[in-house]
Amino acid sequence: MNQHASARLRAAAALLVLVSVAAAWLGAHAANAARDARAQSNSNTQPPQAGQQQENPAFAELHKRVAGKENVPAEQVFNNIQVLKGVPAGRVLPIMSAFSRALGVRCDYCHVFGEWAKDDKETKQTARDMYRMTMSINDDLKKIKTIAADNPVVNCTTCHRGQPKPNSSLPQGQRPDGARPQGAPPSTQPPSN
């Protein structure tokens, strides 16, 4: 496989990850909207049915804060915004949700529930640093002539893969494209479908 085809394959894989994250978010958002519509049609005095969760009041407050200000810069709607300055406020919560899924953690991994602006947790600063690093890598990728046309990107999932700590190793003897490493003996296991 030549370098150009390999670069296209990596770009397609990165795009697939981004589309999967977007689809998961849209599915969850649609499910939440349907649940909220059902909840509004029910009397407020009825307890939630089995399996139904009530929304955390801290999240409801965040959604109220954004309502009607979706296109306003995040720093004008939220306090202590540092790396998402200039991002529309309506994008902040979906971005945070994507971070949460990429690391397999809940919001309170980095934030103090209900006091979102606090910097009490070291993981919050680490997330900011990792975001800056990712943006820097993506800027550098645009400078590599052989792959720049494919517009490759990295994101949290590239390394974290649903874990709080990055997981940058592959299983022994595997390559990202599924081929055998150079000089490795042929696999004794049947190919997977």
Which of 136, 176, 161 is closest to 13 using CA atoms?
Answer: 176
Q: Tell me what the pLDDT averaged over the chain comes to.
A: 76
Could you read off the pLDDT of 140-191 as tens digits, one per residue?
999 998 988 888 899 999 999 899 998 777 666 666 666 665 655 555 555 5
Range of the domain at 123: 3-23+56-160
Instruction: For residue 32, tell me if it sits in a domain.
Output: no
pLDDT value, residue 149 = 83
Tokens 């400078």 locate to: 143
pLDDT value, residue 81 = 96
Q: Compute the chain's Rg from CA coordinates.
A: 21
Number of domains, the chain:
1
What angle in degrees, to the nearest 10, is found between the helix axes of 89-103 and 57-66? 140
CA-CA distance, 137 to 51, in Å (whole number)? 42
Helix (H, G, I), strand (E, B) or coil at 36: helix
Instruction: For residue 34, tell me if it sits in a domain.
Output: no
Instruction: For residue 183, tell me if it sits in a domain.
Output: no
pLDDT band for position 1 (cuts 50, 70, 90): low
Q: For residue 130, what is the domain's CATH number?
A: 1.10.468.10
> Which whole number is the average pLDDT over 63-78?
95
Instruction: For residue 173, tell me if it sits in a domain.
Output: no
Instruction: For residue 186, tell me if it sits in a domain.
Output: no
Helix (H) / strand (E) element for 136: namely: helix 122-141
Instruction: For residue 148, tell me if it sits in a domain.
Output: yes
- Is residue 121 within 8 Å of 112, Cβ to Cβ? yes
CA-CA distance, 138 to 151, in Å (whole number)? 9
Question: 100 φ, ψ to 5°?
Answer: -60, -45
In terms of pLDDT, which residue wins out, 17 or 133? Answer: 133
Question: Residues 45, 46, 51, 55: what is their CA dihedral angle, to the nearest 10 degrees?
Answer: -20
Q: Is 188 exposed, middle or buried (0-12, 13-18, 19+ CB in 10 A)?
A: exposed
Instruction: For residue 42, tell me if it sits in a domain.
Output: no
In terms of pLDDT, which residue wins out, 108 or 21? Answer: 108
Instruction: For residue 134, tell me if it sits in a domain.
Output: yes
pLDDT band for position 50 (cuts 50, 70, 90): very low
Which of 14, 25, 23, 1 is closest to 137 using CA atoms?
Answer: 14
CB atoms within 10 A of CB 114: 13
Could you read off the pLDDT of 108-142 as tens digits, one per residue?
999 998 899 999 999 999 999 999 999 999 999 99
